[in-house]
Copies of this chain bind each other. A is one copy, B any other.
Amino acid sequence: MEIKKNIMVGQSGGPTAVINSSLAGVYKTACDMGIPKIYGMCFGVQGLIDEKYVDLSEYIKSMLDIEILKRTPSSFLGSCRYKLPDNIQKGNEIYEKIFSLLKKLNVGYFIYIGGNDSMDTIKKLSEYACLTESDIKFIGVPKTIDNDLAHTDHTPGFGSAAKYIAATMKEIIRDGLVYDQQSVTIVEIMGRNAGWLAGSAALSEGEDCEGADFIFLPEVPFDIDDVISKINNLQKRKKSIVIALSEGVKTPEGIYLAELEKTLGFEDSFGHKILTGAARYLAGVISKRLNCKTRAIELNTLQRCSSHISSRVDITEAFQCGGAGVQAALEGKSGVMITINRISDEPYQSNTSVFDISDIANIEKKVPISMIDTKNYTVTKEFTDYVRPLIQAEITPIMVDGLPRHITLTASADRPMY
């Protein structure tokens, strides 16, 4: 069957190590299916409103390019944190602008790779399409290191971030052991409301590593007196203590530790507080109350862009989700997100399906209480059993002159950006 409509793909929200693997999956499948034009919107839907887009075939010209794209961190097309208007009614200027551009470009399929907020965008666009009887298909492809999307076993991006966190924790734990003195190292890990990433620090435990001593998740209120007392107890038999601390940890009164550090952040356009400083705060308190050497380490953006140690399972699933998004659109689905289903743990196997986006957008999946050992401030075996398959195997970076090679989107005379 000849396909006559074009496809438009975009990336949105925070970058990950594998979001471009999903883009590669969209591109490769769209090529294979014979979709005439594959457009990429620059800086997400916000850029699209400003008519910023590219013809991806001008940038991705070979199978080698596709391989490098899979290994390139961050969002190749650029991203945005833009919230579409809530009043989805005919004639709304923003929606009109988007749909008329899509019509002009003969786009029949619209794929958006992103997290919660991006699924909100797909939800609204597909609703607007219904309202205006447009036949453009809108599909969400999941992406977030936070792993907080509902109705999917996990999200692409999480496995690689978890692998980076676990590998880095092992290195930090070894680093902390070198001196024969009491010390507490606090590693601050991303995850505003869900502790999936902080919990992944538990994977560092194994035959060659004692693992993180305490793991604090945003799901559990942080009682500073109890924490100090537990650290103090552990210090009686252990010199170097390493703590994994979610940036989103709050006191029982609901105050972020980062706020106590008085580095009050500002809000992004979705109203999320930007947090930093939780580890510094805790290091300060421990140093003062237990009188020992402390060190605060923020993994910061490194944990979301470290494609040099990504998970092959994650890269592969991200690619598959991208391809499945194109398939779903061609099958006539719209207003859905691709989900990953875990078929078995041993050996790990997964496949994809689709789920109604209105049940996904704006819902945050937190770590369930069954996966948290609240008494000992750590996660349970159920948690590590769930995450471990997702960090398996590696994808070799393409090393050029000693460094990983990436592919970039740079406009030039022969490669126009519209």
Contacts and interface: CB of A to CB of B under 8 A. Distances in A.
Interface of A: 14-15, 42-43, 46-47, 72-75, 78-81, 163, 166-168, 170-172, 174-175, 177-180, 203-204, 206-209, 295, 297-298, 300-302, 304-309, 311, 388, 391-394, 399-408
A171 B73 contact: yes
15 contacts: A42-B180, A73-B175, A74-B175, A166-B402, A167-B308, A174-B305, A204-B403, A206-B401, A206-B403, A209-B408, A295-B301, A297-B298, A298-B298, A393-B399, A394-B399
A312 to B, nearest CB: 9
Contacts of A175: 15, 73-74, 301, 304-305
A404 B180 contact: no
Contacts of A178: 14-15, 43, 74-75, 78-79
A303 to B, nearest CB: 10
B79 A403 contact: no
Contact of A166 (B163, B305, B388, B403): B403
A401 B392 contact: yes
Contacts of A295: 300-301
Contact of A402 (B75, B207, B392, B408): B392
Nearest to A407: B208
Contacts of A81: 179
Given A43-B178, A175-B304, A204-B403, 11 more contacts: A78-B178, A79-B178, A166-B403, A174-B305, A203-B403, A207-B400, A208-B406, A295-B300, A295-B301, A302-B302, A308-B309
A302 B305 CA distance: 15
Given A43-B180, A403-B206, A301 B78 contact: no
A15 B173 CA distance: 12
Given A301-B295, A399-B394, A403-B170, A79 B179 contact: yes
B309 A174 contact: no
A255 to B, nearest CB: 21
A14 B178 CA distance: 8
A179 B406 contact: no
Contact of A78 (B168, B179, B392, B400): B179
Given A79-B178, A402-B388, A74 B171 contact: yes
Given A43-B180, A78-B179, A309-B309, A302 B171 contact: yes
A165 to B, nearest CB: 10
A401 B401 CA distance: 29
A311 B403 CA distance: 10
Nearest to A20: B174
Nearest to A311: B402
Contacts of A207: 400
A254 B394 CA distance: 46
A174 B206 contact: no
Contacts of A388: 401-402
Contacts of A301: 172, 175, 295, 297
Given A174-B305, A175-B301, A301-B297, A208 B391 contact: no
A408 B208 contact: yes
A365 to B, nearest CB: 22
